[in-house]
Amino acid sequence: MKEQHKQPSVVILATGGTIAGVGRSAEETTGYRAAVLAPQDILPREIDLSRYNITCEEFAAVDSKDIDDALWLRLTRRVNELTAASSADGIVITHGTDTMEETAYWLSLTVRTAKPVVLTGAMRPATAIGADGSRNLLSAVKLAADENAKNRGVMVAFNDCIFDAASVVKNHTTAVNAFAAKNSGAIGYFTDRAPVFYRRAEIDAPQFYFDTGELSALPYVKIIYGHAGDDALFVEAAQKAGVRGLVYAGAGNGSIHARAAAALARAADSGIAVVRCSRTAEGAVQGSEPYGEKFIVGGLLPPAKARILLALALTQTDVPSEIAEFFT
């Protein structure tokens, strides 16, 4: 008797973005309206999708530049609900590309499941010639439904590549191959029928997990971008605004202008957690010299992701040495 294979169930959570965007003409790839179409209108009609049980849910309709901590908290709760249900084998989240890497990293720290959670989006609105959204969404559905995608943490499916949440970054303003993982590379790719993995991510699932179920807001953390001629202005302004943490995007190996460094040291002495990152695209921030132990070393994390980890760490501890353990 022929073996019956279970039809995988995939839930698509739509949050808006370019993938759901509509332009005034087929030539328009900027200036369009984001977050217009429903996900069922983006799925390719040329492909037989009956092998999947697909459910679509309109979770939000935002341009991803406008996503905030409150939406992340709601999204985590919903993803946790869906992955806890036996009816869902995998989750796909359609998302704008501007902050996709941040949402993916956030979810990797706040969702605990063996089931695949996959983010995808598009660089061109659905109405444009060469729109990439339908193909990316199809790839994401394939990945979320694949048995081999289990226990690999949160992933991003984009332009026939598979990226892990910790490493993926948006690397280009408008190109369809906008995403990359410069320090480690993609963890897999898509054939015509199925995802194929090169390797496992360095950490398949986070070694730590933050339960955000009772949180209504995150600790206030800001990023300061370092530059030649920097001073104490933004550091002191952030202190006055009541930040609990600061991420400094320094030059090179997280280098900080002397005037800014002095202000950051004063902030650290006042109880503000300070993380030193780099504005450089590749490489890890290493060592503590000449800043001593006042600043936490951000390692491989780019500033935007370091802000997320610092805010979550601050929900558990204010002790710099304990926060530093999350970053190492």
Q: Which strand ranges, in their side-by-side order, compose the sheet holding 273-278?
A: 221-225, 245-250, 273-278, 296-297
The CA R_g of the chain, rounded to the nearest whole Å, is: 21
The CA distance from 169 to 182, in Å, is 8
**What CA dihedral angle connects 40, 46, 47 and 48, to 10 degrees?**
90
Question: Which residues are designated catalytic?
Answer: 18
